[in-house]
Amino acid sequence: METITKKKKNNIYLNRKVIRLCSHPDINVCKEAGWCLSNAVCSSTLPQLMLLVDNGFIEAMISLLHTDAETVVSMAISTLKFCLVSYNRLTGQEDFAFNSLVYKMEEANGLDALERIQANEKFSYDCYQSATEFVFHFWPDDYDAKTDKDNEENNEDEIDFGMEDASTDNSYQF
């Protein structure tokens, strides 16, 4: 896998080809391309990681978040999280510090994709939880604001049926 991230012309082409395969119409091809990129990220140095990112790695993983195949979505979440944490570790930052790659992911609508996963009942609780933790760790302000907004919406427009004034003699009151 190390040869896939070297800065040779043929290998850069191979990087781009694997990244493009993440958008292939066949979900099995997408899954295999995603796994290939996942392996490349797991063993990459900072220059290799940046080469992958510069060639569209983040956008490719975000495209996988838009599939309905839970195994592919879970793999993409884990790979993106590993990429962002690895970048932070390789640059001497806290694991979940906001960085340029988190910003790039947000600009490519990655946060929207994670929120779509959270709202989609087709995904399991584990997948929902992975997406939620991802948002919580890298966008804590957005997570807190969204949680506060949801709580406010749930308490708005409460309907009072006047049940506290109803008699308890089991008869109807008109």
Residue 3's pLDDT is what? Answer: 54
pLDDT of 148 higher than 80:
no
Band the pLDDT of 4: cuts 50, 70, 90: low
pLDDT of 13 higher than 50:
yes
d(CA 84, CA 58): 10
DSSP state of 152: H
Q: Is residue 7 part of a domain?
A: yes
Give Cα separations from 99 to 87, 90, 144 (angstroms).
Answer: 8, 12, 19
Q: What percent of the chain has pLDDT over 70?
A: 75
Q: Is residue 22 part of a domain?
A: yes
Range of the domain at 27: 2-141
What CATH number does the domain containing 88 carry? 1.25.10.10
Q: Is residue 117 part of a domain?
A: yes
Q: Is residue 39 part of a domain?
A: yes
Give Cα separations from 118 to 66, 123, 131, 151, 167 (angstroms).
Answer: 12, 8, 6, 16, 44
d(CA 141, CA 143): 5
d(CA 98, CA 171): 61
Average pLDDT over every residue of 143-164: 49
d(CA 13, CA 34): 16
Put simply, whether the predicted model's pTM sits higher than 0.85 gets the answer no
What do you get for the CA distance between the two ends of the chain, in Å?
77
Q: Is residue 52 part of a domain?
A: yes
Average pLDDT over every residue of 135-139: 94
Q: How many residues does the chain have?
A: 174
pLDDT of 162 higher than 80:
no
pLDDT of 90 higher than 70:
yes
How many structural domains are present in the chain? 1
Q: Is residue 155 part of a domain?
A: no
> Tens digit of pLDDT for each residue in 17-49?
999 999 999 999 999 999 999 999 998 999 999
Q: Is residue 64 part of a domain?
A: yes
Q: Is residue 6 part of a domain?
A: yes
pLDDT of 5 higher than 80:
no
Residue 15's pLDDT is what? Answer: 84
Residue 163's pLDDT is what? Answer: 46
pLDDT of 154 higher than 60:
no
d(CA 171, CA 174): 10
Residue 1's pLDDT is what? Answer: 53
Written as one string, the DSSP assignment of 17-73 is: HHHHHTT-SSHHHHHHHHHHHHHHHHT--HHHHHHHHHTTHHHHHHHHHTSS-HHHH
Helix (H, G, I), strand (E, B) or coil at 170: coil
